[in-house]
């Protein structure tokens, strides 16, 4: 249970921190945007990715341990099912969409010939990260019910 909570804290805290860092300086110059994106990528690589992986894997383990198998869905409380579904989808989004996009955009020169690709990937990163964070927060709220 402690491992699961640590994963949630790293995933949610890292995602919200990266989103705030991205919005902290809206009129930043292109080189500064490159620096900001590299900082966000470091947050995603060190906190969000491992946190989401830890959360998803420990959540599956806890479900199997506490309820004897994934096929016993009829006996699960509804808030627990909401937590599992939203947590799983949010975690998968973090691992499959957010992390690779963050790594990709951090390697692009924001002022060079790929500036349009940089802007597009940065926008996609923001949307995927927000989707993952909202689903993760729904899971946190459902777990408290």
pLDDT for res 62: 85
3-state secondary structure of 110: coil
More confident call, 96 vs 26: 96
pLDDT for res 74: 59
CA 71 to CA 79: how far, in whole Å? 17
CA 56 to CA 39: how far, in whole Å? 25
**In the structure, what pLDDT confidence band is assigned to residue 126 with cuts at 50, 70 and 90?**
very high
- Is the predicted pLDDT of residue 45 greater than 90, yes or no? yes
Q: How many domains, in total, are found in the chain?
A: 1
**In the structure, what pLDDT confidence band is assigned to residue 24 with cuts at 50, 70 and 90?**
confident
CA 106 to CA 35: how far, in whole Å? 8
Q: Across residues 106-133, what is the average pLDDT?
A: 93
pLDDT for res 72: 53
Q: Which pLDDT tens digit goes with each residue over 59-100?
A: 888 888 877 655 555 566 788 889 989 999 999 999 999 999
CA 132 to CA 101: how far, in whole Å? 13
Average pLDDT, the chain: 89
From 59, 135, 124, 134, select the one nearest 98 (Cα to Cα): 124
- Is the predicted pLDDT of residue 145 greater than 90, yes or no? no
- Percent with pLDDT over 90 in the chain: 68
Q: Tell how many helices (H) and how many strands (E) occur in the chain.
A: 6, 0
pLDDT for res 144: 86
Task: Show the domain range for 96.
Answer: 2-144
Highest mean pLDDT among 5-9, 20-24, 76-80: 5-9
């Amino acid at each position: 249970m402690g491992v699961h909570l640590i994963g949630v804290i790293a995933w949610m805290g890292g995602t919200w921190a990266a989103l705030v860092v991205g919005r902290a300086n809206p009129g930043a110059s292109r080189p500064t945007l490159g620096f900001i994106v590299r900082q966000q990528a470091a947050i995603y690589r060190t906190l969000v990715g491992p946190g989401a992986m830890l959360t998803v894997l420990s959540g599956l383990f806890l479900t199997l341990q506490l309820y004897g198998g994934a096929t016993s869905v009829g006996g699960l409380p509804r808030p627990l099912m909401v937590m599992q579904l939203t947590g799983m989808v949010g975690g998968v989004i973090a691992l499959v969409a957010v992390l690779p996009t963050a790594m990709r955009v951090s390697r692009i020169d924001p002022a060079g010939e790929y500036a349009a690709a940089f802007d597009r990937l940065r926008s996609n990163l923001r949307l995927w990260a927000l989707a993952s964070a909202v689903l993760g927060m729904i899971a946190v709220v459902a777990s408290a019910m």
